[in-house]
Structure 1
Amino acid sequence: MTLAEVAEAAGVGESTVSRVLRNHGSFSGKTRERVMAAVERLGYVPNRIAGTLASTGSRLVAFVIPSLSNIVFPDVLRGASAVLEENRYQAVFSVTDYDPGKEEALAAAMLAWRPAAVMLAGCEHTEGTVKMLRASGCRIVELLDLDGDALDIAVGFSNRAAGRESAAFLLKQGYRRIGYVGHDLNRDTRAGKRFSSFCETLDAHDTQLVAREILAGASSVENGRLGLERLLARTADLDAVYFSNDDMALGGYFHCLAEGIAIPSKLAIFGYNGLDIGRATPQPLSTIRTPRVATGQIAAQLIVANAPPQAVDLGFELIEGATA
């Protein structure tokens, strides 16, 4: 089905059909009704790529994200998509699995579509990715981390500050035999920043991290449960455990329930992200709540407005919960 056939069916010119479908330029309400009726009757699907190449501005916004299994990134996409759809932009996304090399390849693939903007997680990228992004001419938005030099726009919060506040909270509660359970810190650089500043804060208060268990691969509830089991098998006298995120912390929580370990009197648990499920457990999870949906919304608003380069700090909230 072609634009010409739609124009013939609606009794108007092809340029008029194009204006109606792009919602740009002058046409009457009756003309729009005739065109849209023809579109629906004929099952016409506009060629958005051709429209992008023929126009001065793309309507595509590309997301290159680490994961879809971690609810953090779907939350960001949900916030951004609402704004983009309202402003007639189309979101497309690809998943890197926390692999910097894969991020570079996917960024190159996305840039080949000449998007209006590319949104990525974090501030750390390969040299090749940075060169491509700088040379692309499109807007760049880095999400969920402000601990680095932004290429263009950055929206999120400081992961280092989150690590510091987590440690300070546990110390204030009187915990001193503290352990850590996490996932691959080399790939998830934001988790690595939180862990590093967490340990630095303990050191500043003459307290050492007693033990750690870092599992290969991505975070998950199962890995959190397995990690805590292994940690306690080696160091049974811990009084608190800091987890790389809420997925892992919930796994630790379930391990304690299964083994009859009283929380928090026998062992305190602290997470990161503030997931909804963490508030629904019998004892709400002590954690840091991050503004994930707002991060996506504001990032999209800045793109739509063609805002100048800037860093937007949305902060985070420490949730005392009932597990620490």
Structure 2
Amino acid sequence: MSSPTLADVASLADVSENTVSRVIRDKGYIAPATRKRVNEAIRKLGYVPNRAAGSLASSSSAIIGVILPSMSNIVFPEVLRGIHAGLAGTHYQPMIGVTDYDLKKEESLISSLLAWKPAAIITTGCEHTAAARRMLKNSTVRVGELMDIDHRPIDLAVGLSHLEAGRSAARHLIGRGYAKIGYVGHDWNADKRAHARYLGLVEGLRQAGLVLSEENRTNGPSSTLAGKAALAELLSRAKTIDAVVFSNDDMAVGGYMHCMAAEIAVPETLALFGFNGLEIGQTLPKPLSTILSNRFAIGKTAVELLLANSERNKKPQIVDTGFSILEGSTA
């Protein structure tokens, strides 16, 4: 049995094939009664539009390309939830790729997605290979770069300033009376935003006439196990620090676990401060002091702005979704 065709839908709905195509692509005005007849015919026949073929005949498809660095890190599924919320009620569908923090892999994904003529491509951060940047700049699709607004975007950037987040962490701890502050982090080669927060932290301390007392970074990605081990190593070298800033909440939760095991009183003996505002940090016996990034809002805001106008901004647009400090009980 052959699959139903566009012509079959048109015949059943008693309209032209062009009208069926316009209903499917949601292009131009269609009388409500006509739209209803077409949609009923589509459902009755079980017709599935050929999106690839449709994209060749039109300027773009109903695809929104979404490129994320990870799906195991809870931060990015929350961004994706926001994207899904922004797409609700539209005919657009996300096509998702994961880079594992590999810019060459991102380049390959961008090339593949552009071949489908998406309506927009959403990436994480503003850092790309030279080839990927050229592909994005030379294309006509909307481009949303999320999570980072410290760099000039190609089209649209939605997120927060990680430099300012680092400075805010420094000001918060200094305001609480801490002066001997250490840092525990993970690999900066894969996570440039963590590096930006570190630079902001150092700048914030310098503005107050202070420097980091000690620092320790792991070579791999962030994790609770890495944070636990890294804090233990840092404390073996620095006995007098009174607070530690972690690259993110995963690392900070691991640090908290080390303090529990080593019977280090938090925050009386050692204060701990994270980044992201993850639920796991807020479920600790003493809720983690941290910075909350508005991840859901980042995804939702970005996709709504991209779909509001099919034309690129003449001047790159930057939208700051901000952040807030969760005071918690660990600093």
Higher mean alpha-carbon deviation, 222-231 vs 127-136, is at 222-231
* 2:134 paired with 1:137: no
Residues in 2 aligned to 1:28 and 1:158: alpha-carbon distance in whole angstroms: 46
Task: Report Cα offsets for 1:253-297 as digits up to 9, x if no partner.
Answer: 122223322110011110011112322222111111111111111
Decide whether the 8 Å contact of 2:60 with 2:117 is kept in 1: no
Alpha-carbon deviation of 1:156?
1.2
Residues in 2 aligned to 1:137 and 1:5: alpha-carbon distance in whole angstroms: 33
Task: Report Cα offsets for 1:73-102 as digits up to 9, x if no partner.
Answer: 111111122222322211112111222222
> 1:102 and 1:35, CA in 2 relative to 1: closer, same or farther beyond 3 A?
same
Match of 1:286 among 286, 289, 298: 289
- Matched with 1:182 is 185
Residues in 2 aligned to 1:20 and 1:125: alpha-carbon distance in whole angstroms: 37
> 1:114 and 1:253, CA in 2 relative to 1: closer, same or farther beyond 3 A?
same
Q: Which amino acid aligns with 2:171?
A: A
> 1:288 and 1:252, CA in 2 relative to 1: closer, same or farther beyond 3 A?
same
Match of 1:311 among 315, 318, 328: 318
- Matched with 1:93 is 96
Task: Report Cα offsets for 1:47-87 as digits up to 9, x if no partner.
Answer: 12222222233322112221111122111111122222322
Alpha-carbon deviation of 1:166?
0.3
- Matched with 1:262 is 265
Residues in 2 aligned to 1:57 and 1:231: alpha-carbon distance in whole angstroms: 53
- Matched with 1:277 is 280
Secondary structure at 2:87's aligned position in 1?
helix
Q: Which amino acid aligns with 2:195?
A: G
Q: Which amino acid aligns with 1:152?
A: D
* 2:328 paired with 1:321: yes
Alpha-carbon deviation of 1:40?
3.3
- Matched with 2:250 is 247
> 1:28 and 1:206, CA in 2 relative to 1: closer, same or farther beyond 3 A?
closer
* 2:53 paired with 1:50: yes
Q: Which amino acid aligns with 1:106?
A: L
Alpha-carbon deviation of 1:33?
4.9
Decide whether the 8 Å contact of 1:87 with 1:304 is kept in 2: no
Alpha-carbon deviation of 1:35?
4.1
Match of 2:301 among 294, 298, 301: 298
Q: Map of 1:186-225 to 2, 5 A cutoff? A: 186-225=189-228
Q: Which amino acid aligns with 2:155?
A: D
Task: Report Cα offsets for 1:281-322 as digits up to 9, x if no partner.
Answer: 221111111111111111111111117331111221112111
* 2:117 paired with 1:114: yes
Task: Report Cα offsets for 1:238-262 as digits up to 9, x if no partner.
Answer: 2111110111111111222233221
Q: Which amino acid aligns with 1:115?
A: P
Q: TM-score, normalised by structure 2?
A: 0.90
- Pairs aligned (count): 324
- Matched with 1:229 is 232
Decide whether the 8 Å contact of 1:100 with 1:187 is kept in 2: no
> 1:157 and 1:29, CA in 2 relative to 1: closer, same or farther beyond 3 A?
closer
> 1:13 and 1:205, CA in 2 relative to 1: closer, same or farther beyond 3 A?
closer
Secondary structure at 1:125's aligned position in 2?
coil
Residues in 2 aligned to 1:323 and 1:103: alpha-carbon distance in whole angstroms: 37
Higher mean alpha-carbon deviation, 211-220 vs 183-192, is at 211-220
Secondary structure at 1:144's aligned position in 2?
strand
Residues in 1 aligned to 2:155 and 2:69: alpha-carbon distance in whole angstroms: 20
Higher mean alpha-carbon deviation, 258-267 vs 304-313, is at 304-313
Q: TM-score, normalised by structure 1?
A: 0.91
Secondary structure at 1:289's aligned position in 2?
strand
Alpha-carbon deviation of 1:121?
1.6
What percent of counterpart residues are identical? 50
Higher mean alpha-carbon deviation, 186-195 vs 11-20, is at 11-20
Task: Report Cα offsets for 1:94-137 as digits up to 9, x if no partner.
Answer: 11122222222222222222212111122222222211111112
- Matched with 2:107 is 104
Alpha-carbon deviation of 1:27?
5.6
Residues in 2 aligned to 1:36 and 1:201: alpha-carbon distance in whole angstroms: 58
Residues in 2 aligned to 1:28 and 1:134: alpha-carbon distance in whole angstroms: 38
Secondary structure at 2:158's aligned position in 1?
strand
Q: Which amino acid aligns with 2:223?
A: S
> 1:131 and 1:29, CA in 2 relative to 1: closer, same or farther beyond 3 A?
closer
Q: Name stretches of at least 5 consecutive residues in structure 1 with no aligned partner.
A: none
Q: Which amino acid aligns with 2:152?
A: D
